[in-house]
Amino acid sequence: MSTPTFTFQGWVCEDCWLTHAGFDRHEIGHDTDVEPLGLIEEGTVVFAGITDDAHECEDRWIGHRPHIGCGEEVRDFATSPCDGCGSRLAGTRYGMTFWSVAA
């Protein structure tokens, strides 16, 4: 098995976030023409959250888990396009990390 290589860290819309969590587009009420996570190349491994290095919170460990509750993995009412599907609708963006796996 190949070792994943860090590709990029991005910010995705709620539809892409919920699709990654296992919901289908009908369950989340997805009604646009863009496919959730449609910009992500096949073979890319997607992880929810951002890398430890990207966190800027002072307390790197909150409780017994890193960064839980620091709020840096969510951007409220962002106007940037979604890195997962390209949607330009403003709204919450969730941090995700993308890794490529060589065949």
| 52-70: pLDDT as tens digits | 666 566 555 555 455 555 5
What share of the chain in percent tops pLDDT 90? 17
pTM: 0.74
- Dist CA 67 CA 41 (whole Å): 28
DSSP 98: E
| 20-51: pLDDT as tens digits | 888 877 777 656 677 888 898 888 888 887 77
- Dist CA 103 CA 93 (whole Å): 30
